[in-house]
Amino acid sequence: MNFQLSEDHIAIQQAAREFAENEIAPSAVERDKTGEFPTEIIQKLGELGFMGMMVSPEWGGSGLDCVSYVLAMEEFSKVDASVGVVLSVNNSLVCWVIETFGTAEQKEKFLKPLASGKVIGAYCLSEPGVGSDATQQATTATLQPDGSYLMNGAKNWITNGTTATHYIVFAQSEPGKGHKGITAFIVDKGMPGFEIGHKEDKLGIRSSDTCSLGFTDVRIPADHVLGAVGQGFKIAMETLNGGRIGIASQALGIASGAFEKAVKYTFERHAFGKPINQLQAIQFKLADMQVKVEAARLLCLNAALKKDAHESYIKEAAMAKLYASTIANEVANQAVQVHGGYGYVREYLVERSIRDAKITEIYEGTSEIQHIVIARQLLKEYELQQG
Ligand code: CAA
């Protein structure tokens, strides 16, 4: 593996860092308090090409690789993990799935505006009674004589739920076939019978928008079926493999942001007659945090390189997500500890990293699910090697 970043990668990282510092950071504290969605920021990110980073220019995207995506996600999430998740869902879970499985007509109609950031999308797999056990979709899509489907059911915890215009929705279209009867659909905001539920009041990533959705006899035209009928579960899982690289990078950004604040603070704060970074207790914490951040970064880049090389990245994406989300929580906690009492108040910004980090162990597959994915994949690889 070659982790040497190219000049193009460094330029993208720099552009993302400058945008994060100049355009995102100034309003992040206020949006964390109010829960206001970062509408203008997302519009600007669209204009700069960050909302469809990996989509081909033919379909309105920037045609960049996954390494660039990891670098940008870290920079944005360092200052505001809410912006990070909006961007990640649009890029990984919405644009990617339409570009990979959509027809040319669907790409023209849906992907172009999504990739250029004119509108944003949402990915709807979780339900009130279905989270980790995602094969058990209770939302139904019943085939009608004219080829359309009638959708009924509910979805939960939907990122970009109130702000999206297009929703990738997974539903059981052939009952009795289990996960092989699940189909993916593109549902548009405003379709009769499609209701947007209330926005959740969350612990962290407070200015991202998360809500429930309801479907009552929503008529979905046949040309809104995404991929083959019955292929939906596979599509959902393959989409999440890439999504997990995005969330791993978001977690990395939360960790590196908290770590950088901690390092800076140790130069400013004095105790026992010297800056606290001269105390071994603090130095050990900084060293541990540095190792964790760097290891998470390498796992994220490793997964991205595998994806860019068109190699299997299921295990690598899950490892990156599992590790980066674990250390994001640990590093955020230690960064607050380094700040002492000041770390516990909003004025010093670092407390938000603890609240933002927690969700990275839950969404796009809990840490427990990542363990399952990694173990199954490594055993499969072992068996293949043994012939
Ligand atoms: N990549 C590709 N295919 C996969 C896969 C993966 N990671 N995981 C499973 N599959 C395939 C299997 O190969 C199998 O295919 P076949 O039928 O052809 O053999 C099929 O899917 C069923 O898989 P399993 O038999 O392994 O099913 P299972 O029930 O034992 O396990 C699971 C499935 C791994 C637990 C899966 O349900 C899962 O990943 N659950 C977590 C769901 C999740 O991540 N939800 C996140 C919600 S989205 C979100 O959070 C977005 C947001 O807003 C931020």
pLDDT, tens digit, for every residue of 48-81? Answer: 999 999 999 999 999 999 999 999 999 999 999 9
Q: Is the pTM of this model over 0.85?
A: yes
Say what the pLDDT of residue 198 is.
87
Give the residue-averaged pLDDT of 277-282: 98
Does position 1 have pLDDT exceeding 80, yes or no?
no
- Whether the CA torsion 324, 330, 334, 335 is positive or negative: it is positive
CATH class of 122-232: mainly beta
Domain regions of the chain by residue span:
7-120, 122-232, 234-386
Nearest to 56 by CA among 128, 104, 8: 104
Beta carbons of 219 and 148 less than 8 angstroms apart: yes
* Nearest alpha carbon, ligand 1 atom 20: 234
Q: Ligand 1 pocket test: which of 127, 168, 237 has the largest number of ligand atoms within 8 Å of its C-beta?
A: 237
Q: How far is the CA of 274 from the centre of ligand 1 (A)?
A: 53
Q: How far is the CA of 181 from the centre of ligand 1 (A)?
A: 14
Assign 161 to helix, strand or coil: coil
pLDDT, tens digit, for every residue of 214-265? Answer: 999 999 999 999 999 999 999 999 999 999 999 999 999 999 999 999 999 9
Q: How far is the CA of 139 from the centre of ligand 1 (A)?
A: 17
Give the residue-averaged pLDDT of 286-299: 98
Say what the pLDDT of residue 348 is.
81
Say what the pLDDT of residue 387 is.
85
Q: How far is the CA of 81 from the centre of ligand 1 (A)?
A: 25
Q: How far is the CA of 260 from the centre of ligand 1 (A)?
A: 35
Give the residue-averaged pLDDT of 290-301: 98
CATH topology of domain 7-120: Butyryl-Coa Dehydrogenase, subunit A; domain 1 (1.10.540)
Beta carbons of 25 and 75 less than 8 angstroms apart: no
Say what the pLDDT of residue 8 is.
97
Strands 166-172 and 121-124, bridge-based pairing = parallel
Say what the pLDDT of residue 3 is.
77
CA distance 77 to 79: 5
Annotation marks residue 99 as catalytic: no
Q: Which of 361, 364, 368, 383 does the annotation list as catalytic?
A: 364
Closest atom of ligand 1 to 133 CA is 37
Say what the pLDDT of residue 179 is.
96
Residue 329 pLDDT grade (very low, low, confident, very high; cuts 50, 70, 90):
very high
CA distances from 282 to 45, 80, 241, 268, 275 (A): 37, 26, 37, 13, 10
Helix ranges restricted to H, the chain: 7-19, 25-34, 39-47, 66-79, 81-88, 96-101, 104-106, 112-115, 232-268, 280-308, 314-339, 351-358, 367-386
pLDDT, tens digit, for every residue of 351-384? Answer: 999 999 999 999 999 999 999 999 999 999 999 9
pLDDT, tens digit, for every residue of 166-224? Answer: 999 999 999 999 999 999 999 999 999 999 998 999 999 999 999 999 999 999 999 99
Hey, which CATH number is domain 234-386, 1.10.3720.10, 3.30.365.10, 2.130.10.10, 1.20.140.10?
Answer: 1.20.140.10
Q: How many CB atoms within 10 Å of residue 2?
A: 7
* Nearest alpha carbon, ligand 1 atom 9: 237
Closest atom of ligand 1 to 362 CA is 50
Percent of the chain with pLDDT over 70: 99
Cα angle 96, 102, 106 (rounded to 5 degrees) comes to 110
Secondary structure element (H or E) that encloses residue 166, with its range: strand 166-172
**What one-letter code names the amino acid at 64?**
L
Nearest to 51 by CA among 100, 105, 104, 96: 96
Give the residue-averaged pLDDT of 296-315: 98
Say what the pLDDT of residue 4 is.
86
Say what the pLDDT of residue 347 is.
83
Does position 2 have pLDDT exceeding 70, yes or no?
no
CA distances from 157 to 64, 200, 300, 354 (A): 29, 8, 25, 20
Question: Which protein residues touch ligand 1 with a CB less than 6 Å away?
Answer: 89, 123, 125-126, 132, 134-135, 159, 179, 233-234, 237-238, 240-241, 314, 363-365, 369, 372-373
